[in-house]
Structure 1
């Protein structure tokens, strides 16, 4: 029996060896018309299941091909397929190259529209991982999608991401003046630039945006705990130079006085030394849909890349933004303690056309951002990345909000403050990435250190109550508590300056820093099964106000992360699960007894968020359908809350839970048709708190959590042949369910209604010229957003865009 088995095995070996000896190999490259290599092109042998993707150098190789004539098909999403015939002989290698009709700059426009392909991403995990290899969920918005939709505002781009909604626009105030979003039930702001801190107190200009990444779930393990959200973080990827001359000059004109001029110019400075420069710049001027309000800004962002050698590359980026705006105040329609006299918009009867401000009351938010990095290939297995980032942002001007001082009288007090704040940040990182095997198991290891420092200088005024208004626009100058008549304060710079001249500000100069050490490893047990294990140790050092040492403190925090991925069909389907953590270092606060005596400084432990998540990711039908479905459960503990027994004190120990699911789809069923769609459901509630505290009543929504149900859809079709070639149209929109902006047993509940928005576009997009007309909110739906507030949104509006590409 043993001899028979041996003979059978020997025969089988020779049969297999002979079969393989009779096969051949096909290899080759894919390049653009100007000679640049193209990554991620699919090359298939027609009529078989054999194929390959091109690598970063545009190379591909397909093994074990039977001898004979074969038809090879090269395809890339958004482009016409190319077919060529090749003959394969036994035991030999045949070569076949493809040249795409597009040049490098044209191809770039096509590539960025395919936002969810299973391509490597080097920022989300700080390890080069394909989307299906990463146990974390993230969504992206490309610059091409933004062009298709005629987007001139950074905020509007995020309407293409499931699970995120805007809760109020940028106020420009110091510290947190950027736009607020709700992400998985928690607040989030766009505070990362290329994975590094990029704090802003105003708006971001979209002209230098290559891609916006919304990284879902608590992410402190890799990105720290200085200002990142529990539900996720928003990361902006900027445009990078390339080694060909090209660019685009564009103009946008639209509703409410929109005028916007942009330029994107790329040029090689030295082909021999591989130095390239890319400059993006924009001038933006726009009025408001309300009776007052405007925005004027100038932005410029030069970026330089220098490939010093095959191993060493330097990247430099500078962004300079000067922005001035007149900003409508946030309308807080509750004192957060008294029963609400109105429970919905119909009862409040807020006139959405009123801004409650004037164009004489403006705020300026100049911003500077510098990033420099050196990437060095230490060996075939190890790379080094050294990064330096420096940022500065100012808030200079008038910030105002409206507050219900005395509930029930239909009068709301309007307060003013002169912002004079500067925030400076510095970040230094050193990362080492390794890709090696131990035995038969592949390891992709990250080891890094991150130093972050922030300094906030505040010389703002005190606060002044200027007047009282009704939601319908009536005005009086009466003290709401005493009934005394006050001197009129008008909406002019001189009048508001006179009001604030008698107020006392609280000047401060606060510094803090953090030093983080982190490591992350993706271990492939088999080609189909991998696990991620990550840990961060973070030391937070707060010097507080430099004028005193009473509020100095430091502490350590640990942030773990685990994930597992199983791909039943490699690069097609992956099942994943993760545990993720986030922490926020809570600054010490000055507290007193209820009567104002016994002043002291109180320190707190870091707040922590823990998430469990599982789901499925797919990339099917030759990159024609990419989808992610995930279910998550987040719990935040050690929340700092106001002490209900003493509003001059704080307690720690609150808990909040957020549960939900998200579906994100990108489909390209036929040439020229691109569809992005998503749906999300979230429920956020206080788990443990104080029934007497407005912000932490158990069983209630926390505020700022956004609508529970959200949906997004955008579909474009571009005609690829015939008389109307390069013409096309797009249609889509957004749905948001009912939203409890106030949810409390004492005040009652105030709900913003659900809404559905419909948007559309028509365009002509040729190789050197693009023109498009976009109409948003076609049905002229009046809708509102809020964060314990009511913020009216734009009615129907349109944008005409023209661009010359070269």
Structure 2
């Protein structure tokens, strides 16, 4: 027995001495075979792990014989688990591991290596509904990252969009029912932000930036993949929200600034169950702000819970919610006369005192908004996955909405005020089913999405009629002479709720409920003809079912529309330089309208074909110096046909057949030339004209919704990397526009708003856990205006201070 124990002891001792420590090595790429830097490769249920280098390679050392499960995770990609067995003390070299984008569910540990070019994040699952890199996508789009917003201390959505090339705000959010969100000019056409995470997300007010991961501005008609309900002929705006990640952490931020701005933001992420891969994140913000004018304010409370649940490597669920309670005074900008010349043709003649709001803080609108989305992702096979999406939106408007309009009846520049008491809401439901494939046919790679989409929108309108409520002049004068009565009156119109309610007592209350539904099927395929040449082909079939007023069957109508898309990309230098061209289509369903002079007999209902837009575009995209220089240069030509206009010979008749042409050049550059320096620059020039119409008022003139011809933006941010100034940084930039038409009709002549250039600057200090920033907007205190048949004064100089703490 003694000898046996000795032998066993020697065997164990010998095995320990001669046991070899071995390693596991491998490479991680995305689905396009591009190496991924900073991927987390960890041995499950241990603290052992590494990150991939710039070649996507990793190596885990000091391992012994046994079975291991590698968890490979990266932000924006599906986490993958790989079983590895080590036997006979042999090193293991794994085959290339491919990660697939997870439709923006961040199932990755937030241990991100330093990312080059912080102002550019061009990988997205939304733009093409496929995991395409920007350089191989035939569509042009701008991405505004949260790092860019942080460097600019952005507290509102309008300031965020100033970073998108070719985008100009036409007018601010009014909060009114139906279309109270802000309007923006994009490639010669107006657009509102109505897409959240690729699905309809409506709002009658402003969008809170506290929950924004990034903003994607897609350029050109985009109906093939997104339909016409959330896009325009110029493109669409998609807001990508923050989502749960694997880990625990968060951030608290407070911003205070001029004109009573105070904003506190909270962000917290945690595991509800690590064993079940169940993670929860909540973002919230409370904001109050006064106007720079004599009256006006806005306050809002926002909360956004989100949840991700990974059942297994094939199935995952996610939930996103956004709930906003907001109250504001609506901006009472000046509406110019659209059918007769105004007394003044420019701002100097108008004598506008832009510090006057022509309202009071007693007359407010409330805009509660809710958006909910549920997503299920299921891996059908190695080449196909299923994505099921449900979106619900609800937005309401209650309170007082007023506007000022120059009817041209009273002497001089006199604007009549009209007020309505709003009580309306809109509800939408969207259901999408996508099948996303990545497969080969005859050795040719195909990336395909096949989708079904159902959208239903119901609007209830119980607004009162509009009551006349006095007149104002741009310099601050007022009188009570109703322009629609023969007598000269001098009634007082105090801006209080009790007085306004008394004036509205004689107005009728609407009782309208309308509904429409859209049934769609679409398919898009990216075919790699060679390693350097690919083609994109897409087609959408839309069935538009409009009930109109649900109490009136006579206004029901249906339309069916086809929307094609085609594009080519050639990469002379693979993954670094591409030359592209595209054909994109958009459309608008035009509701039937009553026509005919009601004084001569009953009106009749006239139906119209859908309006249609077609775009041809070509350009180049670059990705040089390991993602340090991204640039897009493109030229586009959009033609819209079958526009419906008012018959110039009869205001009771409509004519279809108008044509608008919009063409232009866009340049966007994102650069990270040296460590610590990030640059964003954009330039656009747009030429828009109504080329065919029976309405001579607008023939051969620039449409008012087109905004200014030229737009430009620039922002540079530098953080010192070493020495006594390590952590300190400075940012500076500018944005501007050429002059634009507020009015441009044959009978009215022109009212031109002047060009402007606005300079902004910031200084900051950033440490491991906190960041302190000072930001000066409109540093030179430039007086400037935007407008769309309106005159909208913009914010003067404003100072912001922010402190943020991460934990």
Say yes or no: TM over 0.5. yes
Selected match of 2:247 from 244, 247, 257: 244
The answer for the alignment partner of 1:742 in structure 2 is 743
Q: Counterpart of 2:725 in 1: which secondary structure?
A: coil
Question: Alpha-carbon deviation of 1:457?
Answer: 0.3
Taking a change above 3 Å as real, the CA distance of residues 669 and 113 of structure 1, as seen in their structure-2 partners, is closer
Is structure 2 residue 485 aligned with structure 1 residue 464? Answer: no
Asked whether the 8 Å contact 1:434–1:443 carries over to 2, the reply is: yes
Q: Distance in 2 between matches of 1:224 and 1:613?
A: 20
Question: Alpha-carbon deviation of 1:111?
Answer: 4.8
What's the CA shift string for 1:313-357, capped at 9, x where partnerless?
A: 1010111000000122131122x2222322211111111101010
Is structure 2 residue 343 aligned with structure 1 residue 341? Answer: yes
The answer for the alignment partner of 1:502 in structure 2 is 506
Asked whether the 8 Å contact 1:37–1:57 carries over to 2, the reply is: no
The answer for the alignment partner of 1:802 in structure 2 is 803
Q: Distance in 2 between matches of 1:311 and 1:105?
A: 19
Q: Counterpart of 2:224 in 1: which secondary structure?
A: helix
Asked whether the 8 Å contact 2:195–2:230 carries over to 1, the reply is: no
Q: Counterpart of 2:702 in 1: which secondary structure?
A: coil
Q: Distance in 2 between matches of 1:297 and 1:426?
A: 25
Q: Counterpart of 1:647 in 2: which secondary structure?
A: coil
The answer for the alignment partner of 1:599 in structure 2 is 603
Asked whether the 8 Å contact 1:293–1:326 carries over to 2, the reply is: yes
Q: Counterpart of 2:646 in 1: which secondary structure?
A: strand
Asked whether the 8 Å contact 1:417–1:460 carries over to 2, the reply is: yes
Equivalences for residues 278-677 of structure 1 within 5 A: 278-334=281-337, 336-406=338-408, 409-481=412-484, 482-485=486-489, 487-593=491-597, 595=599, 597-677=601-681
* RMSD (Å), alpha carbons: 2.4
The answer for the alignment partner of 2:215 in structure 1 is 212
Q: Distance in 1 between matches of 2:765 and 2:54?
A: 26
Taking a change above 3 Å as real, the CA distance of residues 30 and 788 of structure 1, as seen in their structure-2 partners, is closer
Q: Distance in 1 between matches of 2:754 and 2:49?
A: 52
Q: Distance in 1 between matches of 2:507 and 2:49?
A: 63
What's the CA shift string for 1:607-654, capped at 9, x where partnerless?
A: 111100000000001111000000000011111112222223322111
Question: Alpha-carbon deviation of 1:57?
Answer: 3.6
Question: Alpha-carbon deviation of 1:732?
Answer: 0.2
Asked whether the 8 Å contact 1:106–1:767 carries over to 2, the reply is: no
Taking a change above 3 Å as real, the CA distance of residues 594 and 264 of structure 1, as seen in their structure-2 partners, is same
Structure 2 runs not aligned, ≥5 long:
1-24, 29-36, 59-69, 75-90, 98-107
The answer for the alignment partner of 1:276 in structure 2 is 279
The answer for the alignment partner of 2:88 in structure 1 is none
Q: Distance in 2 between matches of 1:123 and 1:612?
A: 22
Question: Alpha-carbon deviation of 1:371?
Answer: 0.1
Q: Distance in 1 between matches of 2:114 and 2:399?
A: 42
Q: Distance in 2 between matches of 1:278 and 1:376?
A: 22
Taking a change above 3 Å as real, the CA distance of residues 595 and 95 of structure 1, as seen in their structure-2 partners, is closer
Selected match of 1:253 from 240, 251, 256: 256
The answer for the alignment partner of 2:161 in structure 1 is 158
Asked whether the 8 Å contact 2:119–2:147 carries over to 1, the reply is: no
Structure 1 runs not aligned, ≥5 long:
1-24, 46-54, 60-90, 98-103
Asked whether the 8 Å contact 1:170–1:178 carries over to 2, the reply is: yes
What's the CA shift string for 1:236-278, capped at 9, x where partnerless?
A: 0000100100110010100000111110000011111111100
Question: Alpha-carbon deviation of 1:177?
Answer: 0.5
Q: Counterpart of 1:346 in 2: which secondary structure?
A: helix
Q: Distance in 1 between matches of 2:608 and 2:94?
A: 67
What's the CA shift string for 1:211-231, capped at 9, x where partnerless?
A: 000000000000012242110
Q: Counterpart of 1:803 in 2: which secondary structure?
A: strand
Q: Counterpart of 1:359 in 2: which secondary structure?
A: coil
Q: Counterpart of 1:222 in 2: which secondary structure?
A: helix
Asked whether the 8 Å contact 2:116–2:627 carries over to 1, the reply is: no
Give aligned pairs, total: 732
Asked whether the 8 Å contact 2:27–2:56 carries over to 1, the reply is: no
Question: Alpha-carbon deviation of 1:599?
Answer: 2.6
Question: Alpha-carbon deviation of 1:754?
Answer: 0.6
Asked whether the 8 Å contact 1:406–1:480 carries over to 2, the reply is: no
The answer for the alignment partner of 1:126 in structure 2 is 129
Asked whether the 8 Å contact 1:113–1:142 carries over to 2, the reply is: no
The answer for the alignment partner of 1:712 in structure 2 is 713
Taking a change above 3 Å as real, the CA distance of residues 486 and 596 of structure 1, as seen in their structure-2 partners, is farther
